[in-house]
């Protein structure tokens, strides 16, 4: 069982995949790249949903493709729900599948649909399993269950994901798509990125050395060029009497045998070496990871706390969330964690009115359309200096700010980055962000992580991305389940 890809090329308006050759065999391969780099397109090519412009794809073995957006109740799930054996019961229990879900598919959440989709795929045990963003809408516990199940898969696995923890624990190879090029590494994502960074650092050092050598050679070439021009003047026959045949003969000999000829020869040699060194420098791949110094000029808020709440409880239908006294210091970075449905988003909505609205950025999971027009008008009317700083932050977050601001309807991910960039520029004292990595590719997630980690204001983040929280926060607000439908928030340092 395998998938053999040979000289595969495909594009829409421009080349997206060019001359890709690789072999997918037993084990998991992760595919990563920025939004629009062709990840889902490649999966559609591998599964026959698209035909390549050139090249060949050979598939040996049964194949199952779990798309990014699952159906309300996938057809392949029928066999699992119809099977009442001990093994089928184990799988359904492992993924928390409920029998009633098959009778009300239209009411299932995205997370529930994803759990059904992946559980059915594992249950059917294909030779080749292809997954597109399998952890979308899953909480930490569901991700852990999914990861454990996928580790037991013994076939050919191909996965597109922005979940670094999943990629590191599951895969042994990483395919980076960088249109129209690609880079296949025999390591999990984080290890592969480290190797690429080390190579980029070596390339940068080598390129600097080559450029120094080129400047030295160009200096020598300029000197020989001046000597050659002087020799041309000295050897010009225009100053000789037309009848001075001996003088003309001497000049011709000097050109052929003397230093004048050597100057021109050396100049040609130097120009050839300059071209060779420049070609070596141009061939070195340089990649630069984002760094942030926008927080260096931040003026800390003199208030000790951004908000303070007395202990209380929140009713959520039949569920109950209790919480202790809550406060967030002006420099605190706190992560709010808990399973889906435990009240994280509800708690954020309750906290926001207790904050100073003009000094707080609150971004819910789904950004409402109301207020977007006025926000864009304000951003577009910023003074040149402020707009330039905003552009710089957006570029560091991996987006073209002019393209985003010119779009009639920016993508949710681009809009989220623009709101955060404007908050950083304006030195907002508190950011409350609910799943800020939603709709972002891996490079954007890493750039946002770097930005929020460097930001000196207060942060309150909800995310199921463990790596992201580890890189941006220094304390935990953890919601745990006690009695059925009863949750308790605990503060952990």
- pLDDT of 38-65, one tens digit each? 899 999 999 999 999 999 999 999 999 9
173 pairs with which residues across the strands? Answer: 29
Which of these, 350, 365, 367, lies nearest to 436 by C-alpha position?
365
Residue 456 phi, psi (nearest 5) = -90, 0
Which of these, 437, 380, 373, 442, lies nearest to 410 by C-alpha position?
373
Please report where in the chains the tokens 């993508």 appear, as a residue.
411
Residue 32: CB atoms within 10 A of its CB come to 25
360 pairs with which residues across the strands? Answer: 430
What pLDDT, on the 0 to 100 scale, is given for residue 21? 94
What pLDDT, on the 0 to 100 scale, is given for residue 249? 55
The DSSP bridge pattern shows strands 173-178 and 319-323 to be unpaired
How many CA atoms lie less than 13 Å away from 449 in the CB half-sphere? 20
What pLDDT, on the 0 to 100 scale, is given for residue 164? 93
| Local structure of residue 156 (DSSP, 8 states) | E
Residues with pLDDT less than 50, the chain: 235, 237, 256-258, 295-296
Which of these, 191, 184, 178, 192, lies nearest to 22 by C-alpha position?
184
- pLDDT tens digits, one per residue of 351-362: 999 999 889 999
Say if CB 114 and CB 70 are below 8 A apart.
yes
What pLDDT, on the 0 to 100 scale, is given for residue 44? 93
Largest CA distance in the chain: 117
What DSSP string runs through 184-199? EESS-HHHHHHHHHHH
What pLDDT, on the 0 to 100 scale, is given for residue 257? 43
What pLDDT, on the 0 to 100 scale, is given for residue 261? 54
pTM: 0.75
Say if CB 70 and CB 133 are below 8 A apart.
no
Tokens of 191: 């290890």
The DSSP bridge pattern shows strands 2-11 and 54-60 to be antiparallel
């Amino acid at each position: 069982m395998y998938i053999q890809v040979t000289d595969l090329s495909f594009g829409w308006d421009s080349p997206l995949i060019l001359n890709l050759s690789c072999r997918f065999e037993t084990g998991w391969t992760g595919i990563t790249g920025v939004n629009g780099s062709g990840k889902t397109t490649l999966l559609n090519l591998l599964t026959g949903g698209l035909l390549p412009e050139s090249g060949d794809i050979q598939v040996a073995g049964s194949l199952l493709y779990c798309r990014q957006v699952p159906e309300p109740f996938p057809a392949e799930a029928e066999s699992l729900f119809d099977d009442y054996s001990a093994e089928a019961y184990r799988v359904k229990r492992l993924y928390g599948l409920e029998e009633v879900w098959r009778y009300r598919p239209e009411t299932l959440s995205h997370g529930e649909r994803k759990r059904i989709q992946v559980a059915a795929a594992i249950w059917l045990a294909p030779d080749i399993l292809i997954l597109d963003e399998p952890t979308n809408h899953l909480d930490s516990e569901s991700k852990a269950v999914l990861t454990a199940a996928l580790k037991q898969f013994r076939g050919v696995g191909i996965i597109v994901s922005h979940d670094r923890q999943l990629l590191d624990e599951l895969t042994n190879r990483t395919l980076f798509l960088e249109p129209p090029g690609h880079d296949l590494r025999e390591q999990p994502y984080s290890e592969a990125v480290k190797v690429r960074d080390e190579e980029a650092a070596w390339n940068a050092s080598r390129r600097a050395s080559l450029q120094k050598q080129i400047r030295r050679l160009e200096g020598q070439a300029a000197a020989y060029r001046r000597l050659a021009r002087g020799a041309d003047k000295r050897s010009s026959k225009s100053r000789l009497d037309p009848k001075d045949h001996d003088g003309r003969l001497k000049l011709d000999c000097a050109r052929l045998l003397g230093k004048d000829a050597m100057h021109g020869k050396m100049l040609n040699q130097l120009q050839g070496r300059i071209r060779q060194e420049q070609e070596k420098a141009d061939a070195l791949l340089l990649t630069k990871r984002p760094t942030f110094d926008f927080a260096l000029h931040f003026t800390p808020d003199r208030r000790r706390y951004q908000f303070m709440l007395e202990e209380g409880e929140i009713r959520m239908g039949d569920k109950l969330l209790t919480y202790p006294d809550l406060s967030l210091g002006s420099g605190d970075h706190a992560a709010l964690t808990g399973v889906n449905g435990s009240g994280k988003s509800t708690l954020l909505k309750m906290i926001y009115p207790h904050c100073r609205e003009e000094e707080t950025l609150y971004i819910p999971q789904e950004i409402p359309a109301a207020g977007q027009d006025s926000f864009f008008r304000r951003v577009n009317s910023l003074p040149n200096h402020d707009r330039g700083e905003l552009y710089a932050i957006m570029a560091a977050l991996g987006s073209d700010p002019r393209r985003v601001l010119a779009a009639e309807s920016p993508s949710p991910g681009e809009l989220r980055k623009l709101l955060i960039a404007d908050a950083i520029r304006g030195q907002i004292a508190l950011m409350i962000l609910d799943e800020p990595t939603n709709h972002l590719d891996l490079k954007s997630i890493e750039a946002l992580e770097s930005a929020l980690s460097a930001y000196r204001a207060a942060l309150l983040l909800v995310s199921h991305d463990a790596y992201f929280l580890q890189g941006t926060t220094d304390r935990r607000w953890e919601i745990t389940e006690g009695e059925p439908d009863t949750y308790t928030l605990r503060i952990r340092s």
